[in-house]
Amino acid sequence: MSSSKGGSSQPNNPPTKKRKLDNNGNKSAARRVARAIPAQLPEVAFENGELNLQPFVAAHEFEIRALEQSMAISKTQGATRAFQKVPRGLRRRAASHNPKRVPKRLRARAQKEKAEDNTPLVTARRRKPTTTTARIRMETAKKLRTLAFRKKTFREKRARAAGARAETLPDKAKQPQRARRPKIRRNALNEPPRPRGRFRKRQKNKIWLPTHMWHAKRARMMSPKEPLWRFAMPLRPNEKIYRPTHRMQGDRGAVVWDMSYMSTIGLYGHPAGMERVLKRIGVTHDSCWNDKGKKWRAGTRSWSGMLSRETKQGRRQSCPATIFWNPAPADRVAVEDLKKDRRQVFLRVHPASFSELFNELLRWCKSETPQLYIEDLRFEIGSIELTGPASTEVLHSVLTPYPVAGEPKSKHAELFASLKGLTNPAALPQNVILGFSIQDPRLRYPPRKQSPAQGEAADMKLLETVSGWPAETALKPYALLDREARHEASQLPTQGLVNRRRSKITPGSFLKPSPIDPAIPIVLLASRSGSSTQAQGKWTLLAPWKCIQPIWYSIVHCPLSTGGNPRFAGLEQTRQVAFERGLPWFPADFPTTDAGVAWELDQRAVRTLKWSRRPKSKRTEWSTVDLGAGRKGELGDGLACDFEYLFGLPRPDDAETQSTEGAMDVEQGQVSQTTATSSSALSALHHVSRKAFLGLARAGEGTALSIPLNALLTVRIRLVTRGTVGPCARIYRLPATPPPVPVASDAEVPATIPPSASTSFPSALPHDLRAQWLAKLPDSTAAGAKDTTRQPRATTPESRRQRIVRELTSKPTPWPSTKSNLRDIGGQHPLCPSSNDLIGFVTTGEFCLSDGRGSAIGSIAVDMVLGGFRADETEGRLCIVRSAGENVGWLARWEAV
């Protein structure tokens, strides 16, 4: 116990709640104050050396009360409430004081805390309106409930009357009527599914994904008034997910996305006409139409690549796509007239380019004879994407083949079941497809943990299956691509009916499929993230749109053998995973497409708005950026990947309004005109593939190089040393080699280079700037070796004496030490090259956890790097990257992707 310093007989005041709360957030100080028990000095109980009974009892009474109060305060000081014990994965954006909102194991504790604190419990139906708007809304809701009750009563009365008339009808007429099949238009866009009346007003200008209600409670969603590609998509989970995504997509676990926003287009007609249409949209690879493409045309493989379209300036990229054929029936009779033969092809594209591709396909289909037709299947087929070592394990736990009485098990279902123990879908043959039907996942909910396959026999069996891959045997058309099968699968029983059936069986056992449980047709697409099989692949699960939600619930609650559950992710995580695997992300890293141009213009507007909202003293003034050597001002627009500045494309007069104070004070017409002009300028960019670039680089000396105008090459950039760069960073090539120094006629007069001797090398920059940057390159021969400049550790007394003698006899280091290069920025970094050496911009950049260093994805001008690459491939790959608004550059190495 602590005693008071004063000699007063008055007891010390106990710590109050106000004193406990006024700690400026210092929890340790508040805990010490709560645990400090005041006490009386022993002298107050004695008077003239004799014990005074009354002060003695009063002092002990005060100490006992102080002890009890301190115990009560300490108990609540370090304790946590029931709502703070909820796991992060179960927490919501807005916490509630209702005990029914917490898990059952914490419900009793929450009710006890509510009773102790006298917390008022206000529910939505009991809350009294406090404003006029709320009162009017409450009265309107009451009127609507009354109308709904009258309408329900009228319907029940009419149903009873109809039931009385139906008793006299035959048995066939008494059968329940089948739900109406949705209409799918040909060569026209289809409407999204009609939402429930309760949520219809919220989907006027956007479309909800099948799992929207689940994501809205657990993820940060797009702004309701600013949907992305007309979808309300989750951006990122509420909890921290960056490092867990990195670990689970590559090391252990699985990451899952709802990719139902990806658009599906069906192409129908005779194979010859479909081949011509596919070639016109960019499927011109020889491996698709020769003997190597037999499996793709048979429907057991998918093709993923870049589509393009013909323009006045030549071929222009459209979007990446995945294309696969529907297998022909096994009992199909050979048709003599090839024009009467009918096949089906399905294309999966990004929603940002759906309209562009749909119109292009429609134009070419109408030019064919007999005419082909296309269907918009965006809201007929949904998809879920999984990646990570446990992705196959998750699918095995959730997907159970649907048994059909009297028929053998599907060959593709057996093949999928034999993949137990597979940890990387990239180990399968490239772009394989599996199609079969599964049971309703709710019948086997919750899914159980899969026991991992062990032993050499299981590994050898899996290896034989992967190497043989008998997917072509007994091949049948995929039921998912049949309109009738999709409609039947969408007629799932309600969750209440499933719960009632589950209450009648033994707890812990699974339900068996009944006649009211339809089969759910699915298609599984396995793909690789790169050319190497060591990189982690991914699974894409295609299913009917209305069946995505029950499958999703089972996947996110599936227990993994390594512990935990699969992590769900959002749009930002798709970009992160692509970045860590060294792949460009569509549409941000594709500035040569219409979707990439639209994305860049939107990001410019977002960056400009964010920049203009900052105080003038806190935002970068682009005109005063000091680049060294007397150079002032940023190159181009600091808030954009300014390809207009790089290629000298036309720009509007007010394109640089973001660098002025009134950046946002422009008229709506001027903004539209600016956007249209920038869009038309960026549409002049053309893409050069990696294969075409290497062909140009390795062409002969006398060969004429045909480089498209304003050609860009997509590259992956790895910083050689330290540092990181972000979007809109500037990419430079190495400065040109300085001309040789002429030999002086007189030895006493040093030779110098006249200012006019080299126009390509600015005189303000150091003459040896290229050598300075090459000196930053670490020695490749010493990579991984020990540092030879470091002094060995002295382990013996003799070695210690020798080291001390060397230190005492050596020449002292001058102080202050001379900087390595006074012409560098701060004496440490070489200056960035001039604007003549600017070759491109970074579209995505940050610290890469996979590489352990800064990395980026960018686009560079082909004509500016081709010469240096042909002269020296090693130094031609080196570049200098500088973030916008900064004056320090970082040495990096680029690689075409």
Model confidence over 194-217: pLDDT tens digits? Answer: 888 888 889 988 999 999 999 998
Q: What is the mean pLDDT of residues 361-383?
A: 94
Point out the least confidently predicted range of 404-413, 666-675, 755-764: 666-675
* pLDDT of 23: 40
* pLDDT of 425: 93
* pLDDT of 655: 43
Q: Is residue 390 pLDDT above 90, yes or no?
A: yes
Q: Is residue 721 pLDDT above 90, yes or no?
A: no
* pLDDT of 38: 77
* pLDDT of 671: 37
Under the banding of pLDDT at 50, 70 and 90, the label for residue 6 is very low
Q: What is the mean pLDDT of residues 625-640?
A: 91
Q: Is residue 592 pLDDT above 70, yes or no?
A: yes
Q: Give one word for 809, left, alpha or beta, with left for phi > 0 and alpha for psi -120 to 50.
A: alpha
Q: What is the mean pLDDT of residues 509-538?
A: 87
Under the banding of pLDDT at 50, 70 and 90, the label for residue 419 is very high
* pLDDT of 786: 42
Contact 210, 546 (CB under 8 A): yes
Distances 200 to 147, 194, 203, 265, 548 between C-alpha atoms, Å: 18, 8, 5, 26, 20
Does 642 or 121 have the greater pLDDT score? Answer: 642
**Whole-angstrom Cα distance, residue 893 to residue 777?**
10
Contact 338, 483 (CB under 8 A): no
Q: Which helix (H) or strand (E) holds 255?
A: strand 255-258
Position of tokens 């053309």? Answer: 686
Point out the least confidently predicted range of 127-141, 616-630, 634-648, 746-760: 746-760
Q: Is residue 881 pLDDT above 70, yes or no?
A: yes
**Whole-angstrom Cα distance, residue 36 to residue 14?**
9
Point out the least confidently predicted range of 129-143, 205-219, 330-344, 608-622: 330-344
Point out the least confidently predicted range of 73-77, 297-301, 397-401, 852-856: 73-77
Provide the residue count of the chain: 897
DSSP 828-865: TBPPP--GGGEEEEEEEEEEETTTTEEEEEEEEEHHHH
State whether residue 802 is helix, strand or coil. Answer: helix
Q: What is the mean pLDDT of residues 443-470?
A: 88
- Cα four-point dihedral sign 753, 755, 758, 760: positive
Does 363 or 175 have the greater pLDDT score? Answer: 363
* pLDDT of 196: 86
CA atoms within 13 A on the CB side of 20: 18
Task: Write out the two tokens for 406.
Answer: 């009297």
* pLDDT of 363: 94
Nearest to 424 by CA among 274, 527, 271: 527
Contact 66, 39 (CB under 8 A): yes
Bridging pattern class, strands 38-39 and 2-3: parallel
Does 93 or 766 have the greater pLDDT score? Answer: 766
* pLDDT of 347: 96
Query: In this structure, which amino acid lies at residue 893?
Result: R
**Whole-angstrom Cα distance, residue 429 to residue 300?**
11
* pLDDT of 169: 52
Q: What is the pLDDT of residues 275-292, one digit of tens each?
A: 999 999 999 998 899 998
Q: Is residue 308 pLDDT above 70, yes or no?
A: yes
Q: Is residue 650 pLDDT above 50, yes or no?
A: yes
Under the banding of pLDDT at 50, 70 and 90, the label for residue 656 is very low
- Cα four-point dihedral sign 57, 60, 62, 68: negative
Nearest to 724 by CA among 484, 558, 609, 892: 892
Task: Indicate the burial class of 264 (C-beta count within 10 angstroms; 0-12, 13-18, 19 or more).
Answer: buried
Q: Is residue 22 pLDDT above 70, yes or no?
A: no
Under the banding of pLDDT at 50, 70 and 90, the label for residue 92 is low
Position of tokens 């991914």? Answer: 538
Question: Which one-letter DSSP state was computed for residue 763?
Answer: T
* pLDDT of 794: 61
Nearest to 824 by CA among 772, 776, 778, 777: 772
Q: Is residue 81 pLDDT above 70, yes or no?
A: yes
DSSP 605-661: HHHHHHHHHS-TTTS--GGG-EEETTEES-SS-TTS--HHHHHT----TTTTGGGST
Of all residues in the chain, the percent with pLDDT exceeding 70 is 81
* pLDDT of 508: 84
Pinpoint the alpha helices (H) of 342-494.
354-366, 391-398, 411-417, 456-468, 483-490
Q: Is residue 375 pLDDT above 50, yes or no?
A: yes
CB atoms within 10 A of CB 52: 14
Question: Residue 561's beta-bridge partner residues?
Answer: none
Task: Indicate the burial class of 767 (C-beta count within 10 angstroms; 0-12, 13-18, 19 or more).
Answer: middle
Nearest to 492 by CA among 434, 551, 447, 450: 551
* pLDDT of 779: 73
Task: Write out the two tokens for 553.
Answer: 């619930």
**Whole-angstrom Cα distance, residue 693 to residue 686?**
13
* pLDDT of 333: 55
**Whole-angstrom Cα distance, residue 388 to residue 391?**
5
Q: Which helix (H) or strand (E) holds 295?
A: helix 294-298
State whether residue 525 is helix, strand or coil. Answer: strand
Does 816 or 703 have the greater pLDDT score? Answer: 703
**Whole-angstrom Cα distance, residue 490 to residue 495?**
14
* pLDDT of 747: 47
Position of tokens 């809701």? Answer: 141
* pLDDT of 761: 52
* Averaged pLDDT score across all residues of the chain: 83
* pLDDT of 752: 52
Under the banding of pLDDT at 50, 70 and 90, the label for residue 168 is low
Q: Residue 267, Cα to own-chain centre: how many angstroms? A: 30
* pLDDT of 754: 52
Task: Give the best-scoring range by mean pLDDT among 14-18, 384-388, 499-503.
Answer: 384-388
Which residues, in sequence order, are CB contacts of 624 under 8 Å at separation 6+? 632, 633
Task: Give the best-scoring range by mean pLDDT among 97-106, 794-803, 836-845.
Answer: 836-845
Q: What is the pLDDT of residues 672-709, one digit of tens each?
A: 444 555 567 898 999 999 999 999 998 877 677 788 89
* pLDDT of 214: 94
**Whole-angstrom Cα distance, residue 591 to residue 687?**
9
Does 79 or 881 have the greater pLDDT score? Answer: 881
Contact 480, 435 (CB under 8 A): yes
Under the banding of pLDDT at 50, 70 and 90, the label for residue 372 is very high
**Whole-angstrom Cα distance, residue 471 to residue 434?**
8
Angle at CA of residue 658, ends 652 and 659, nearest 5°: 105
Contact 325, 341 (CB under 8 A): no
* pLDDT of 791: 53
Contact 234, 570 (CB under 8 A): yes
Task: Indicate the burial class of 386 (C-beta count within 10 angstroms; 0-12, 13-18, 19 or more).
Answer: buried
Question: Residue 879's beta-bridge partner residues?
Answer: 733, 892
